[in-house]
Structure formats: C-alpha cells, structure tokens
Amino acid sequence: MSSTPAYIRKDVTFRSGEDTCAAWLYLPAGVANPPVVILGHGLGATREMRLDAFAERFAQAGIAAFAFTYRHFGDSTGEPRQLLSIKRQLADWDAAIAHLESRPDVDGTRLAVWGSSFGGGHSITVASRHPELVAAISQCPFTDGLASAMALGPKATAKGMPTLAKDLVAMVRGGEPAMIPLAGPPGSLALMNAPDALPGYEALVSPSMPFRNEVAARVIPTIVAYRPGKSAKNVKMPILFCVSNTDSVTPPEETIRYARTAPHAEIKTYDAGHFAFYLGEPFEEIVADQIEFLTRHLKSKAR
C-alpha cells in the first residue's frame, strides 16, 4: 500500500552578490501558496547538518521550508573557501528573502526566519532589518560576541592570536588563508572548545557532504564585536527564543536578557546542551514548540 508523500524537496540555487547559494526548498504536498520559513545554520555549518530534519517537520505541518548554505561553505560558491564573513552571511539572508518573495510556488508575504547558534544571532539581526517578515525563531542563539569570548576564556582566545596575525597578512598579500578549527577538544586552539563542542559538530556531519572543521582566522575580531542581541529590541514581529539552560557556547543569561527586550518575544528554555537540539528527545521537544509557533503566526496571516 503506497502512501502520498507529505512534501517534495527541490534543489534550488539563488544569487547572492557575485556568488551562488545552494538550498533545498521543501514544499508541503497539497498546499497551494504555503507560507515559508528560511533556515540558516550556525558557525561554519552547512544545511546537511540536520537542517533537513527541521525542514521536513515544518513541511509536514503545511509550512514550506527553505534551508540554505552560506557562501564560501559546502556546495555554495565563493572564494576563498571557508571564509566566514558576517556581512556576507547577512547579505545571503537578504538574498534568500528576495528569492522567496519572487517565487510563484510559495506565499512570499508570509515569511519567517529560523536560525540556530550563530545563525540564531543572524535571525535576530535579519528580523530587525525586515519588518515585512511575519515571525522569527532564534534557537540557542549567539547574541553577544564578548560574552561568548569570555565563556571560551582569555587563554583560549589568546591562543588564536598568532593564527589571526598570519591570516591578516595572507589577506593583505592575497595568499591562502590561515585556518583555525571551528570546534576542538577542551584547551585546544579552536573557536569553540567546550567539552560538547567537537562531539556536537561530529554528530551532525553528513556522509553526503564532508565537513571542514576550519575557517579563516580573520573572523575572530568580527565575532567578538558582533552583538546581534542588541537588535532584539528592534524586532517588531513575534520572535521565539529557544534557549539552552546549560549552553556552553552562548551564555543563556545574556540571551534571555536580550530576548526580553524584544516587544513580542516568546522565550522557552530547555535542559539540553547547545549541540543537543538536533537529535533525539531534545529535537522532538524543540521542533514541536517551533511548529506550534510557526503555525500560530504564519497560518493566521493567510491571504
């Protein structure tokens, strides 16, 4: 006995600057002009690292989902590879919004953004800049670079300075970037070296898309200076903050403090770690809350 699929998935590309971002568009079966939520991942991650799991659930609930990979990573274009530019990533979000607003198979007037970790910080920034959005979700968000640097510790931060200096020279001379690991064991040189960081990343790696655990070190000062939580007060639409009570990367106290400044914030806390939300029971709990939130706000705005 055959069953009707709940959604179809399309491979999509869209232009961002001079480059092309790769994406998946999940369209719920039997739903004309569905609302759509855009999904962007965290620090150096690609859409293959469990964004598909969230997108599938949203599509099964009747909401189209658009999961994309930033320029310079995965199968999106952009040189040099593994360049984490906050400015360019935010431009990728803008380009994704513009792309969906122009598509005939979704309702571009009912758009939401969803970001996790570093992407959770981006979703706050993007929502503050796009008042036309209907809703936003910020999952275990990076909200304050200085607070995250303090959580990493001054010794760990100092370890990255020689690599940063080498990469800045390479940038000026047009040479190959000097790389720093995204995640590493405790005490190691990495942007994240909490005990759950490296195992957390490795648990999300897809065999279909090998993961490069490194980025150009020039991103270090921009990460420390990035404070997307400050934009929360300018988010005019409903925004759901999903916060880990035991977050080892993005201190929950800072996140909640910023979240409370958003005029229409909904805050939910969970006893799961920063990297635990993508799998098992923590995933089931958080995705159910997100589906309820998106259904309540996106479907109520039907034309």
Residue 195 lies in a domain: no
Convert the pLDDT of each residue in 7-48 to its tens digit.
999 999 999 999 999 999 999 999 999 999 999 999 999 999
Residue with tokens 């190959």: 176
- The C-alpha atoms of residue 40 and residue 112 are separated, in whole angstroms, by 12
Work out the pLDDT band at 4, boundaries 50, 70, 90: low
Q: Is the pLDDT of residue 200 over 60?
A: yes
Convert the pLDDT of each residue in 159-193 to its tens digit.
788 999 999 999 999 899 999 999 999 988 899 88
What is the predicted pLDDT for the residue at 94? Answer: 98
What is the predicted pLDDT for the residue at 208? Answer: 76
- The C-alpha atoms of residue 62 and residue 41 are separated, in whole angstroms, by 22
Tell me the residue range of the domain where 285 lies.
7-146+227-301
Residue 157 lies in a domain: no
Residue 156 lies in a domain: no
Mean pLDDT of 44-71: 97
- The C-alpha atoms of residue 185 and residue 222 are separated, in whole angstroms, by 23
Assigned token pair, 11: 């491979």
Cα–Cα nearest to 26, from 138, 95, 114: 114
Assigned token pair, 290: 């997100």
Of residues 303 and 73, more confidence is placed in 73
- The C-alpha atoms of residue 140 and residue 254 are separated, in whole angstroms, by 11
Average pLDDT score over the chain = 93
Q: Considering its fold, how many domains does the chain have in total?
A: 1
Q: Is the pLDDT of residue 63 over 80?
A: yes
Q: Is the pLDDT of residue 2 over 50?
A: no
Residue 251 lies in a domain: yes
Q: What is the CA radius of gyration of the chain?
A: 18
Residue 188 lies in a domain: no
Prediction pTM value: 0.94
Residue 12 lies in a domain: yes
What is the predicted pLDDT for the residue at 303? Answer: 47
What is the predicted pLDDT for the residue at 137? Answer: 98
Distance of CA 122 to the CA centre of its chain: 7
SS (H, E, C) the chain: CCCCCCEEEEEEEEEECCEEEEEEEEEECCCCCCCEEEEECCCCCCCCCCHHHHHHHHHHCCCEEEEECCCCCCCCCCCCCCCCCHHHHHHHHHHHHHHHHHCCCCCCCCEEEEEECHHHHHHHHHHHHCCCCCEEEEECCCCCHHHHHHHHCHHHHHHCHHHHHHHHHHHHHCCCCCEECCECCCCCCCCECCCCHHHHHHCCCECCECCCCCEEHHHHHHHHHCCHHHHHHHCCCCEEEEEECCCCCCCHHHHHHHHCCCCCEEEEEECCCCCCCCCHHHHHHHHHHHHHHHHHHHHHHCC
Work out the pLDDT band at 127, boundaries 50, 70, 90: very high
Burial environment of residue 195 by CB neighbours within 10 A (0 to 12, 13 to 18, 19 or more)? exposed
Residue 216 lies in a domain: no
Q: The domain that contains 136 carries what CATH number?
A: 3.40.50.1820
Mean pLDDT of 119-140: 98
- The C-alpha atoms of residue 58 and residue 137 are separated, in whole angstroms, by 13
Residue 183 lies in a domain: no
- The C-alpha atoms of residue 228 and residue 123 are separated, in whole angstroms, by 9
Convert the pLDDT of each residue in 225-252 to its tens digit.
999 999 999 999 999 999 999 998 888 9
Q: Is the pLDDT of residue 1 over 50?
A: no
